[in-house]
Amino acid sequence: MLPPRAYTFIGLNGVRILSIIALTLVFASNVVTLVQDIEAVNRFVAADKSGTNFTVTSSDGTNSTIYMSDMDYIMGSTVPNQPAGVFWAVLNRLLIIGQSILLIMSEFGWPSSFFDHYFPVLGKDFGLGALGVMQCLIGAAILSHHVDTFTLVAAFFLFSIGCLNILIGLIWRGSARAKRSLTSWREHAKSALPTHVAGVDVRPVASAATAAASSVVSSMFTRTQSDASSSKAGFGFGKQGEKAAGLNGYFISKPIETLPRYVAKSTPTGSTDATTV
């Protein structure tokens, strides 16, 4: 039976795969919609130059003429029939395509340094809530127009995945990306492996050699530092020694002033030694 962390890892990566699929479908559908809009605009311009109009027959049998310039949208497209409507419609599709590419790259985690510096909300230190909000915004922007079935399904799929990512972000917050990361899983697996069994080192030869070398180097530096500290440990019997002892709570008492045991007796002043022969 797998540990709970394994189920979390599998579930989060499953949502990641679905997110990549949804973003890819939105990217492809918007490219198709962009091509269809441009073709519809070209037909509209050609019909406007030729003065082509449409005749519609109502239910009561009367005929009415519809002028193409009076339509709210260009026929067969998502482009509004208004000043600069073509520009904004094309720009909208290009922005959606660019955002889809950016979010796909963030789901793959490449390049991580780029996202950490320029888009921190899509980097490894943030959760999946911001990603879900962006996906919902893209889906809502597409669903707010009359689109074909393929684009409609892709947008619904992306919007649902965005809601799921928002929920995951609320549950795991900033640790969601770390829990689904392949590199963190490998590092955790390495640390979980035993290094000694019954007192025997079972690590690989390379890692054991590296550990031995690092221990030798650390012992050398430790010995050097201890030698340096021991060389400065003695302060002698002068002022430095007295000061160091005083800081540690010790007091050095001065010796009692006494004369040497075998000192010559002093003669009284004014006395003379008489020597008789």
* Cβ atoms of residues 123 and 115 within 8 Å: yes
Structure tokens at 16: 């990641």
In total, the chain counts a number of residues equal to: 277
CA dihedral 243, 245, 251, 252 (to 10 degrees): -80
Tokens 């441009």 -> residue? 38
- Among 37-51, 156-170, 229-243, whose mean pLDDT is lowest? 229-243
Kindly report the pTM of this predicted structure.
Answer: 0.64
Q: pLDDT tens for residues 92-143?
A: 999 999 999 999 999 998 888 889 898 889 988 888 999 999 999 999 999 9
Alpha carbon 249 to its chain centroid, in Å, reads: 53
* Cβ atoms of residues 169 and 178 within 8 Å: no
Q: Residue 217 carries which DSSP code? A: H
pLDDT band at 277 (very low <50, low <70, confident <90, very high): very low
Residue 80 backbone phi and psi in degrees, to 5 = -75, 145
At 84, which helix (H) or strand (E)? none
3-state helix, strand, coil in the chain (%, to 5): 65, 5, 30
By percentage, how much of the chain surpasses pLDDT 90?
36
pLDDT of residue 50: 75
Alpha carbon 229 to its chain centroid, in Å, reads: 43
DSSP output for 1-56: ---HHHHHHHHHHHHHHHHHHHHHHHHHHHHHHHHHHHHHHHHHHHHHHHT--EEE
Q: pLDDT tens for residues 55-86?
A: 555 566 666 666 666 778 888 888 998 899 99
| Cis preceding-peptide flag for 204 (omega within 30 of 0) | no
* Cβ atoms of residues 129 and 165 within 8 Å: yes
Q: pLDDT tens for residues 146-178?
A: 899 999 999 999 999 999 999 999 999 888 888
